[in-house]
Structure 1
Amino acid sequence: MAVEVVYRSSRDLERLFMDKAEADRYDKMLELAEALSEALHKAVPSISEEQLEEIGIFMAKNRDLFAKAFRGPVDVLSELNFDKG
């Protein structure tokens, strides 16, 4: 019988990872998404909770491109992937 080590996300208990670093990256992404959602909710309170969560996760998953756009040419946002999943 083989023993397999898996890591669980502390923010998404159903999500399992084979690599601790990958689990840590995922948790950090979710932490950023939550912070973004909270900031957006304060700025635009009329956005629904579901929309805030989707926007926060989208921005967190694409944080590198958004960071580049904030620092320099905004045309890097054309590289965003809008596929769900």
Structure 2
Amino acid sequence: MAVEVVYRSSRDPERLFMDKAEADRHDKMLELAESLAGVLHKAVPSLSEDQVEELGIFMARNRDTFARAFKNQPDALGELFAEAE
């Protein structure tokens, strides 16, 4: 009988990970997304709860690209949708 170790995200209990570091990264991304959603909702109160949640997750998943854009590389934002084309 084989034993398999899996890690569960504390912020997303339905997601399982084979690597603890990956689970930790996912939790940190969700934590950032939650913070961003709160800021976005205060900045634009007309956005729905679902919209601010989606925006927060999108920005958190692409945090490196946004960081470069905020550090005087606005062209970096073009990478966000270039991959989808």
| Runs of 4+ off more than 6 Å | none
What CA deviation, in whole Å up to 9, does each residue of 1:5-25 have, x standing for no partner? Answer: 000000000000000000000
Q: Displacement of 1:31 after TM fit?
A: 0.1
Partner of 2:74: 74
- Structure 1 residue 57: Cα displacement: 0.2
- SS of the residue corresponding to residue 11 of structure 2 reads coil
TM-score, normalising length: structure 1: 0.94
Question: In the aligned structure 2, how far is the partner of 1:55 from the partner of 1:11?
Answer: 17
Query: Unaligned regions of 5+ residues in structure 2, if any?
Result: none
Q: Distance in 2 between matches of 1:46 and 1:73?
A: 29
For 1:45, the equivalent position in structure 2 comes to: 45
Superposed CA RMSD: 1.1
Identity, in percent, stands at 73
Matched, 1:23 2:33: no
Inter-partner Cα distance in structure 2 for 1:50 and 1:29: 17
Cα drift, residue 46 of structure 1: 0.8
Q: TM-score, normalised by structure 2?
A: 0.94
CA distance in 2, matches of 1:40, 1:54: 11
Once residues 65 and 72 of structure 2 are traced to their aligned partners in structure 1, the CA distance between those partners, rounded to angstroms, is: 10
- 1:57-68 map, 5 Å: 57-68=57-68
